[in-house]
Amino acid sequence: MTRHIVARTSDIPPGGNKVFGVDGRDIVVFHVNGEFFALLNRCPHAGAPLEKAACVARLTSPEPGVYERSRVGELLRCAWHGWEFDMRNGQSWFDPKRVKIRSYPVSVESGEVLQKGPYVAETFPVHVEDSYVIIET
């Protein structure tokens, strides 16, 4: 899996989103409740851009006339026909067994860690004996 550094956290405001072209795909990153979620920017129903979807809450009803809101902002309601998806994993609420948006793992790392990177060259001890340079492997 290839890592792509796409933005600073401040580039995507709370409650907003931004689309990035990554390896020929448009991926939309949402910033909700302090977390970031990445999904393919294409509704699996008819291809609507999910960057236009509404970020809504989950509504449940324990009894008639009573409803409860949870996971505020974490569900996507497609702008074209209203299908709803779970932002955490792309799962459809309309047809969860068959319909899903492709989702991608997202992490937030400090600039200091990224600058350091995982790139470490193999090193070997070196010492000088008279006029010869000796490398030990």
Spatial distance between the Cα atoms of 47 and 43, rounded to a whole number of angstroms: 5
Is 102 an interacting residue with respect to ligand FES (CB under 6 A)? no
When the beta carbons of 37 and 83 are compared against ligand FES, the nearer one is: 83
Is 80 an interacting residue with respect to ligand FES (CB under 6 A)? yes
Spatial distance between the Cα atoms of 94 and 120, rounded to a whole number of angstroms: 48
Spatial distance between the Cα atoms of 73 and 52, rounded to a whole number of angstroms: 14
Answer for which of 18, 45, 52, 100 binds ligand FES (CB under 6 A) is: 45
Spatial distance between the Cα atoms of 109 and 98, rounded to a whole number of angstroms: 34
Answer for which of 12, 40, 43, 55 binds ligand FES (CB under 6 A) is: 43
Is 57 an interacting residue with respect to ligand FES (CB under 6 A)? no
User: CA 55 from chain center: how many Å?
Assistant: 15
Answer for which of 40, 75, 78, 101 binds ligand FES (CB under 6 A) is: 78
When the beta carbons of 78 and 87 are compared against ligand FES, the nearer one is: 78
